[in-house]
Amino acid sequence: MLKELDAWYWRVLLGIPMVLAFLQAGLFLRVVVVDPPSFLVLKGRMSEARRLLYRSYGAEEPRDGQQKIEELEVQLTELRSAATSFKATPRIYIRQAIFDPFLRHGLFVGFGLAAFQQLSGINSLMSYSNGLFSEAGISPNNLTIASSIMAATNVCFSLLSSQLVDRWGRRRLLLTGPFLQVIAMAGMLFVVSHLPAQYVGLGTVVCFSLFVVSFSLGLGAVTWLYLSEIYPMEIRGSALSACGVINWLSCFMVVFGGRFLTLHSACQVFGVVSIIGLFGVFLWIVETKGCSMDDSPLTPLSRRSTSPLLSPKSPDVSIHSDESDEDH
């Protein structure tokens, strides 16, 4: 029975994400056709932007005296101001933004976080889990069960982490996750080096599951939410696209390189990467919980005047076409 499960298990791992991707595409194209509030404000569709923003924060229709409503109206005002500035701002390319002192720091923080999410090794460990578990001494009949336990743990804690983002804040989760990843890799090295052979398999499953849980709580749940909050409207789309490219290139590197790593060396490499990333998060990641959608601590509105690129008078960039900004 278990051998038959091993024969088609990999097809299930590849097939389920494909089915969910088609379902998501169908929902977004036909059932839940929703544009972000910033886009709606940019197109002048304020009533739709207001309704969507209220739904996103669980607020009711405007009523006097509600603090949450007042905060959301402030956000709408700031988005409207940002949209006005965006229409008057020249087109900004990533290669130009990197040399802008106002935008450069946020760009590099985002690039580093996007790379760290994959370089920490989650997809390499998930892709080669059966081989690594086999090296740890788990019998071939139990490899699929061990991998399934690790995958199920990932799903369960991903649901939990979505509830903690607004309670704990982005920075706290991004610090907690990599810290626990380091603990998991250190524990794995201890298990492999010091535990009796009969306990290595069980210890490996426990440590790998802890690593997956740690990733789900931190880098897995928060990375793209954080990236969407730190860029001003003028470069948000291009910056997120660049982060996506970096993220997938990093994923390719770890998955391709993971096939050459043993269990011991994989724990060493990904443990060191987690330590470096943890220090990077501690030094450069700032909290964005509760911030306005267009007033990130990395690119605050109060300092926009220091950016030469955000000035409509910049001579070295091409002007936006007004045709794309017409209301429809």
Q: Is 239:109 a contact under the CB 8 Å cutoff?
A: no
Confidence class for position 10, pLDDT limits 50, 70, 90:
low
Which residues are CB-neighbours of 269 under 8 A, at least 6 positions away? 121, 261
What are 257-295's pLDDT values in tens digits? Answer: 988 998 889 999 999 999 999 999 999 999 988 787 678
Same domain? For 139 and 242 the reply is: yes
- From the CB of residue 47, how many other CB atoms can be counted at a distance below 10 Å? 8
Same domain? For 59 and 188 the reply is: no
**What range does the domain containing 205 cover?**
102-313
Q: Give the whole-angstrom CA distance, residue 91 versus residue 88.
A: 9
The whole-number pLDDT of residue 184 equals 94
Distances (CA, A) of 5 to 8, 9, 105, 138: 6, 6, 49, 16
Q: What is the pTM of this model?
A: 0.77
Where is pLDDT greater, at 96 or 61?
Answer: 96
Q: Is 153:209 a contact under the CB 8 Å cutoff?
A: yes
* Number of domains, the chain: 2
Percentage of the chain exceeding pLDDT 90:
31
Same domain? For 308 and 264 the reply is: yes
The whole-number pLDDT of residue 197 equals 80
31-35's contacts with Cβ under 8 Å and 24+ in sequence apart are: none
Q: Give the whole-angstrom CA distance, residue 168 versus residue 173.
A: 7
Same domain? For 183 and 48 the reply is: no
The whole-number pLDDT of residue 7 equals 60
What are 167-197's pLDDT values in tens digits? Answer: 888 999 999 999 999 999 999 999 988 888 8
Length of the chain equals 328
Same domain? For 257 and 143 the reply is: yes
Assess if residue 323 is contained within a domain.
no
pLDDT reading at 44 higher than 60: yes
What are 112-142's pLDDT values in tens digits? Answer: 999 999 999 998 988 888 788 888 888 777 7
Same domain? For 78 and 221 the reply is: no
Same domain? For 82 and 146 the reply is: no
b (16+ CB within 10 A) / e for 224-235: bebbbbbbbbbb
Percentage of the chain exceeding pLDDT 70:
85
Same domain? For 106 and 239 the reply is: yes
Considering only CA atoms, which of 47, 142, 110 is closest in space to residue 280? Answer: 110
The whole-number pLDDT of residue 179 equals 96
Average pLDDT, the chain: 82
Where is pLDDT greater, at 279 or 6?
Answer: 279
- The burial class, CB within 10 Å (0-12 / 13-18 / 19+), for 265 is exposed
Same domain? For 176 and 286 the reply is: yes
> Which stretches within the chain are classed as H helix?
2-26, 37-42, 46-56, 67-88, 94-97, 101-119, 122-127, 129-135, 143-168, 170-194, 197-217, 219-229, 236-258, 263-284
What are 14-27's pLDDT values in tens digits? Answer: 677 788 888 888 88
Same domain? For 207 and 79 the reply is: no
Assess if residue 2 is contained within a domain.
no
